């Protein structure tokens, strides 16, 4: 069959731009120009305002002269001392702090503070852990506490007292490096695992105003190793706190404590810089940048005794601070730095009934035993090896003022 050729149709569309005379000089054209002008004007104004806000935030950061007195990259541990005891350091922590190289060591110029199970790192047997064994640190390796109950424990299955089920480490610069006003920066990565309690904090060298918390405490960073999906305020949350008061009952930390959440990550996933700047006029903590603050406490207008609200009532005659004439007392004396990874505790840091917590704080005698009996639940959440510990790359400490 003969193919029939079809005629190709030609387009009647005009070539080139179309004239639109009805728009020339019309209000539609003017409106189009104004829309573009407003859009790009708003974008430009947004950039200008954002830049101004960034500059103003930067300009508000106080600038002082500091003298670097410690720049530790862990070639050795000459700047540090160990605290060795079993007493829980006032918060009923379950770990036995040691100077054992299994619990703290330097590798590749990084300090590692790693908790270990007592059964894994000592000759204590499972039966001895819960009954019939006496641990006496004074006889075995020394004890750094002056309180005898902090230096030993005897397991007893009847009372529920057990040997500390976990060993860890607590290193301080006490007696070696202190500052009275200045700046501190610690570059570190935190541990992952239920009921782990990493902390970077400071305590007074001489406790000028009396025992804790009369002489203050400054917590640059604390966290909990728990998975935030199961425990709100876990390893993605950083907490900074100032402790000050007459006793545990009157500790006014709730007035000077704040937390911040790391979005889409957590503090065990990488290194961060945890810092604090401290002068007679303010204390603030920050993470990675001085512009990213966790707490910011200013001093002035009223002293800490007036701020506490304790000046009236049954404590009115016990003012330990006003006589100095300084608004920042007790935060006006030499403080030293502490790095540690605690485990559990009965001081309220881990809330009862939250995240499957296997002990209750009010039963201080059996809390460690109850924690240990649930090890099949929490131990599997601990990261392997060094991941269950704090890894510290560097510690820098500056004294406020020019170097002599």
pLDDT in tens, 299-325: 998 999 999 999 888 888 899 999 999
Q: 116 with 379: CB under 8 angstroms?
A: no
Give mean pLDDT, residues 4-26.
62
Of 17-21, 188-192, 242-246, 376-380, the range with the lowest mean pLDDT is 17-21
Tokens 């201080």 label which residue? Answer: 364
Other CB atoms within a 10 A radius of the CB of residue 293 amount to: 17
Query: Which DSSP symbol is given to 399?
Result: E
pLDDT at 311: 85
pLDDT at 189: 99
Measured between alpha carbons, how far is 152 from 212 in angstroms, rounded to an integer? 23
Measured between alpha carbons, how far is 158 from 178 in angstroms, rounded to an integer? 45
Measured between alpha carbons, how far is 72 from 393 in angstroms, rounded to an integer? 9
Residues pairing with 257 in the sheet:
241
Sorted by where each begins, the domain ranges of the chain are: 77-400
Measured between alpha carbons, how far is 372 from 166 in angstroms, rounded to an integer? 9
Tokens 């079809």 label which residue? Answer: 6
Measured between alpha carbons, how far is 281 from 298 in angstroms, rounded to an integer? 6
- Summarised one tens digit per residue, pLDDT across range 355-396 is 999 999 999 999 999 999 999 999 999 999 999 999 999 999
Phi then psi for 110, rounded to 5 degrees?
-130, 135
- Provide the pairing of β-strand 95-97 with 166-168: parallel
Measured between alpha carbons, how far is 223 from 290 in angstroms, rounded to an integer? 20
Other CB atoms within a 10 A radius of the CB of residue 60 amount to: 8
CATH 2.60.120.200 is the classification of domain 77-400? yes
Q: 53 with 70: CB under 8 angstroms?
A: no
Query: Could you tell me the pTM of the whole model?
Result: 0.86
Instruction: Work out the burial of residue 2: count CB atoms within 10 Å of its CB; fewer than 13 is exposed, 13-18 middle, 19 or more buried.
Output: exposed
**Which residue would you say has higher pLDDT here, 44 or 81?**
81
- Summarised one tens digit per residue, pLDDT across range 258-297 is 999 999 999 999 999 999 999 999 999 999 999 999 999 9
Measured between alpha carbons, how far is 303 from 280 in angstroms, rounded to an integer? 12
């Amino acid at each position: 069959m003969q193919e029939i050729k079809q005629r190709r149709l030609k387009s009647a569309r005009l070539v080139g731009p179309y004239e639109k005379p009805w728009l020339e000089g019309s209000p539609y054209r003017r409106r189009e120009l104004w829309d573009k002008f407003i859009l790009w004007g708003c974008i430009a104004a947004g950039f200008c305002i954002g830049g101004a806000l960034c500059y103003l935030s930067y300009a508000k950061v106080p600038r002082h002269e500091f003298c670097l007195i410690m720049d530790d990259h862990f070639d050795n541990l000459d700047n540090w001392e160990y605290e060795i005891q079993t007493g829980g350091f006032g918060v009923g922590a379950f770990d036995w702090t040691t100077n054992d190289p299994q619990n703290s060591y330097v590798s590749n110029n990084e300090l590692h503070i790693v908790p270990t199970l007592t059964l894994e790192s000592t000759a204590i047997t499972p039966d001895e852990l819960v009954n019939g064994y006496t641990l006496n640190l004074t006889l075995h390796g020394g004890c750094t506490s002056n309180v005898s109950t902090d230096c030993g424990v005897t397991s007893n299955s009847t009372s529920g007292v057990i040997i500390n089920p976990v060993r860890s480490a607590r290193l301080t610069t006490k007696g070696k490096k202190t500052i009275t006003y200045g700046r501190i920066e610690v570059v570190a990565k935190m541990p992952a695992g239920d009921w782990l309690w990493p902390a970077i904090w400071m305590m007074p060298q001489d406790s000028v105003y009396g025992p804790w918390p009369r002489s203050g405490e400054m917590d640059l960073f604390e966290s909990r190793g728990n998975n935030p999906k199961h425990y709100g305020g876990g390893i993605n949350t950083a907490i900074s706190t100032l402790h000050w008061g007459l006793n545990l009952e009157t500790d006014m930390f709730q007035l000077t404590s704040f937390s911040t959440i790391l979005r889409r990550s957590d503090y065990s996933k990488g290194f961060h810089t945890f810092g604090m700047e401290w002068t007679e006029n303010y204390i603030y903590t920050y993470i990675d940048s001085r512009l990213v603050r966790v707490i910011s406490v200013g001093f002035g207008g009223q002293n800490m005794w007036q701020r506490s609200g304790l000046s009236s009532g049954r404590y009115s005659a016990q003012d330990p601070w006003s006589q100095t004439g300084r608004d920042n007392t007790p935060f006006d004396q030499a403080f030293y730095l502490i790095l540690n990874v605690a485990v559990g505790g009965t001081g309220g840091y881990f809330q009862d009934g939250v995240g499957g917590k296997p002990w209750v704080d009010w039963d201080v005698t059996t809390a460690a035993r109850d924690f240990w009996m649930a090890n099949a639940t929490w131990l599997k959440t601990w990261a392997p090896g060094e991941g269950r510990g704090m890894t510290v790359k560097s510690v820098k400490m500056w004294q406020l003022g020019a170097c002599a």
